[in-house]
Every structure is written in C-alpha cells, then in structure tokens.
Amino acid sequence: MEPGQPGGSGPAEPGPLPRGVRGAGPKASASPPSGAEAQLQRCAPAVAAVLPAGGRGERMGVPTPKQFCPILERPLISYTLQALERVCWIKDIVVAVTGENMDAMKDLIQRYQHKRISLVEAGVTRHRSIFNGLKALAEGQRDAQLSRPEVVIIHDAVRPFVEEDILLKVVTAAKEHGAAGAVRPLVSTVISPDADGCLDHSLERARHRASEMPQAFLFDVIYEAYQQCSDYDLEFGTECLQLALKYCHIKAKLVEGSPDLWKVTYKRDLYAAESIIKERISEQIHIVMDTKEDEEHIGHHFEEMLKNELNHVKVTSGSLCHPGRDLQQIILEQCYNFICVNVKTSEFEETQKLLDVLTESNISILYPVVVISVHFLDHKSVPIGQKMENLMQIREFAKEVKKRNILLCGLLIYCPQEKQKLQDSLRRGAIIIATLIKERNSGLIGQLLVA
C-alpha cells in the first residue's frame, strides 16, 4: 500500500465542518469548537472512504479502464477524488486499483495534488476490491497513517458527482442504523423473465428503487459482513447493503439521492459527464480591460454587450492595475474563463500580464482555463497588414500556455463606423466568446477568430 503524495494547492478547499462529524485536516474547523460543539465533535465518528477502482470498464468498450478515461484531459477518477477531498471530515480515502494501474494512479495523485489518498491492490471482483480496502483500514497500516474508522463510506470511483450533503446524510444514517445507501427512483420498470425468456412478472416501479452510491456503514458491521461473506457473494454480488443485511442482519436506511449520483458505465455516460463539467466551469467569466472604467471606449461597449449576451453566467470585470485585489479574488472564486480586452496597450501586453498571473496561480491544474484575447480593427488602427502580423504572435503564446492547461485564442472585432454595423460586430464577438467558453476545445488554441 502506498500513501498518496502530499499535494500543493490541491483541490478545492473543503467545506465547513458539519455538526456531528470529526474534522480530518488542519482546516476541519475555522475556529476551535467550544462547549456542546466540542463535546459533539469529540464523540463524532471518524470517517474514512473506500473507492473501488479496479475494474476493466468492459461496457465502456475502450481499451482504457473507464476510471482512467479522460474528461477535459483529466482522468475520471480524479474528479471523484476531488469531490471527496472537498469533504474535510473524511479522514482517509482508500482507493483499490489493479497492480498494473498502481503507477498510473500514483502519478495521477502527484499531478493533481490529491491528498489523504492511500492505495491498495484491487480484487478480481468489486466486492473483493472493497474488502481489500476495508482490510487496509482494519489493519491500520502505519506507513499510510491509516486508522480504523467508526464509519466507512463506500463509493464507486466512477461516480464523480457526489456532494457533501448526501455523504453527510448516509454517514449520519449509518451511525444510527448501522448501514445506509443512496437510492434513486427507477427510470425503467424491472421485469422478471421466465425460463423461456418471456415475461414472468414485472415489479411495481413506484414501490422499488435503484441502489446507487455513496453508501456508508458502521465499520465493524461491513467488515464483519465481508469476513463472513461466501465466495459466491464475493464473486457475483453487486450490493454491499445486501451483505450487511444477510450477514449482520442490519437493514440499511435508504436515503433519496440527487440525479447526479449516476455511475459512468457506457461511453454515453462519459460524454454526459464531460458536458456537465463543462457547464459547471463555464458559469463565471471575468473581463480584464486595460482602460479606466469611466473612459468612453469601444472596449466598454463590448463589455456591456458581453454582459447582455452572456446574461446566464456571472460576468465580473476589472483591470490588472491592481492584480493583487481583483484578479486574485476572482481566481480564488475558481473562475476558469477570462476575456482580456486589449484597448490601449500594445497588442498582447495586457494579455501577457493576465497569462502570467494565471500561470502563477495554479488555477488550471484541475480544469482547463479559457483565455480569449480581444482586439479591435478600426480605421484608426495601424495598417491591417502590420496589425495581422502582430496578432499572429498568439500562436506562440498559445503553444506555451497550453503546457499549463490554459487554452488561449484570439478574437479580432471589426469596428465599422456605422453604429448598427458596429453593434452587430460586437454581438457576433460576444456569441463567439460564449461558444469558445462552452466548448472549451483545445483544438482552437492559437486561432484568431474574426467577428
């Protein structure tokens, strides 16, 4: 077993410590608890998580096991780890991977600065992988600082959209009932075929649920269940809650989960996951301009047009004159989309300053950051040949910053003197920007689009 490598900036900062669970890291609680809160936390359960990630992903139909398939050039499992790492009261995350994928997993932990991760060898079935993870926690391996938790979460590594609230619900329910699991309404009706492959009977859909993840258990319950488990169950079983019922007579509490708890199984699920992630990181755009706010200029007309056309997202704006104030705050808010409107300075002076700040910030470790360098072509500009020659530098800039997962492309907005035509150009520019951010396509880096 290999502990994960300590990270640097790492994933998003964990959320606030919910009542009733003990913190894990230095940021587990903003200030030391007092009185009843301290008492509550002292008796709160220590929580660990086991992530089975040792499958082959045969139903995905590609050579790469689906947990390592890329979404926006980052392996799927990294998103699940990030989701669990956001929860500060999960002390250890034990991931079961096959021996052949162990090195790839260690590289991934290092590259994306995942924390609190320990690795164990997967088994030939999902139940065996989970059992190996539980054994690692039970034996409290010193080299990974693992300790036996009171409550253990079991969550498939290929379910990236898991939020703190469902985790807290299943952990709290497991503490009371011994076991708990997320469920969802059935989408299709379950039927039972007879020996001839014909319908024997169907289940009343409204009275049944789909068992999803996360699930949570008192550690002693699920560990005892796995220790008693038959080889048949270990080989063919698919339901941990059933093991707790069959071997420990514990009836798990069923917790209604959100639609996002689905498991990535087929290729369509990977496309869906990528679309959801793209949508989530496109919700905020920050405009950087190299002119003062009160200055009448085409750049401010364009800023207004952007805010009107992109009214479905949060659009903030500022300048680089005070990067310590505006931009750092925006980066802390995890904005992944930046528009640099070059009005007064030479072609790429402002854009270069923005790229330097973004490169320093590590914001693009987990998600590709889109930067669009906006330029204007009007009758006062330098001769168009000279202008275009200057703007072609964007290709070199883009190639350089791509190494830092920053997707840079340019937008040249033609500014006719006639007011309506100018408005049309600005609107086309805004639509191009909205598309570039939504698609986040690395194939367009270094391109200069014209509106």
Ligand X SMILES: O=P(O)(O)OC[C@@H](O)[C@@H](O)[C@@H](O)CO
For residue 141, state whether it binds ligand X (rule: CB under 6 A). no
Q: Which of 58, 256 has the CB closer to ligand CTP? A: 58
Calpha distance 205→186 (Å, rounded): 6
Query: Closest approach of Cβ 100 to ligand CTP, in Å?
Result: 13
If the CB atoms of residues 19 and 56 are measured against ligand X, the closer one turns out to be 56
Judged by beta carbon, residue 141 or residue 211, the one nearer ligand X is: 211
Close Cβ partners of 347 (under 8 Å, ≥ 6 residues apart): 375, 387, 390, 391, 393
Alpha-carbon distance of 89 to 86, in angstroms, equals 9
Between 156 and 233, CB nearer to ligand X: 156
Alpha-carbon distance 287 to 327, whole Å?
10
Asked whether position 263 contacts ligand X by CB under 6 A, the answer is yes
Contact between 56 and ligand CTP by CB under 6 A: the answer reads yes
List the one residue from 246, 263, 301, 404 that touches ligand CTP (CB under 6 A). 263
Among 110, 202, 230, 238, binds ligand X (CB under 6 A): 238
| CA dihedral over 141, 123, 83, 180, signed as positive or negative | negative
The distance between the two most distant Cα atoms of the chain, rounded to a whole number of Å, is 82
Q: Does 156 bind ligand X (CB under 6 A)?
A: yes
Q: Is 126 in the site for ligand X (CB under 6 A)?
A: yes
Pull the structure tokens for residue 339: 């528009």
Q: Contacts with ligand CTP: how many residues (CB under 6 A)?
A: 22
Going by the DSSP 8-state scheme, the letter that residue 246 receives in this structure is H
Please tell me whether residue 246 binds ligand X under the rule CB under 6 A: no
Query: For residue 64, how many C-alpha atoms fall within 13 Å in the half-sphere facing its CB?
Result: 12
Backbone angles phi, psi at 253, to 5 degrees: -80, 130
Q: State the DSSP string of 338-382.
A: EEEE-SSS-TTHHHHHHHHHHHHHTTTTTSPEEEEEEEEE-TTSS
Beta bridge partners of 408: 371
The pairing of strands 369-377 and 337-341 is: parallel
Least distance between ligand CTP and beta carbon 226 (Å): 14
Number of residues binding to ligand X, judged by CB under 6 A: 7
- Name which position in 57, 75, 257, 410 contacts ligand CTP (CB under 6 A): 57
Task: Note whether 239 binds ligand X by CB under 6 A.
Answer: yes
Q: Is 157 in the site for ligand CTP (CB under 6 A)?
A: yes
Choose among ligand CTP, ligand X, none what residue 213 binds, the Cβ cut-off being 5 to 8 Å by kind.
ligand X
Segment near ligand CTP (CB under 6 A), from 68-76, 117-125, 358-366, 391-399? 117-125
Beta bridge partners of 425: none
CA gap 224, 226 in Å, rounded: 5
Alpha-carbon span 107 to 95, nearest angstrom: 14
Find the shortest distance in angstroms from Cβ 128 to ligand CTP.
6
Which CB, 39 or 189, lies closer to ligand X?
A: 189
Q: How far is CA 55 from CA 11, 77, 213, 316, 415, in A?
A: 25, 12, 16, 43, 56
Based on the shown chain and the rule CB under 6 A, indicate whether residue 122 belongs to the binding site for ligand CTP: yes
Name residues contacting ligand CTP, limited to 60-99 (CB under 6 A).
Answer: 66-67, 96
For residue 179, list its beta bridge partners: 217
Asked if 123 interacts with ligand CTP (CB under 6 A), we say yes
> Which residue from 14, 54, 181, 257 is in contact with ligand CTP, where contact means CB under 6 A?
54
Alpha carbons 299 and 350: distance in angstroms, whole number: 13
- What is the C-alpha separation between 130 and 122, in angstroms, rounded? 8
Q: How far is the CB of 96 from ligand X (least distance, A)?
A: 13
Closest distance to ligand X from the beta carbon of 177 (Å): 17
Kindly state whether residue 59 participates in binding ligand CTP, applying the rule CB under 6 A.
yes
DSSP 282: T
How near is the Cβ of 161 to ligand X at its closest, in Å?
A: 14
Q: How far is the CB of 253 from ligand CTP (least distance, A)?
A: 22
CB of 77 to ligand CTP, least distance (A): 8
Q: CA end-to-end span of the chain, whole Å?
A: 55
Say if residue 70 is preceded by a cis peptide, omega within 30 of 0: no
Decide which of ligand CTP, ligand X, none touches 228; Cβ closer than 5 to 8 Å per partner kind.
none
Q: How far apart are CA 303 and CA 433, in angstroms?
A: 12
- Choose which of 64, 141, 211, 362 interacts with ligand X (CB under 6 A): 211
Binding site for ligand X (CB under 6 A): 126, 156, 211, 213, 238-239, 263
Interacting residues toward ligand CTP by CB under 6 A: 52-59, 66-67, 96, 122-126, 129, 156-158, 263, 265
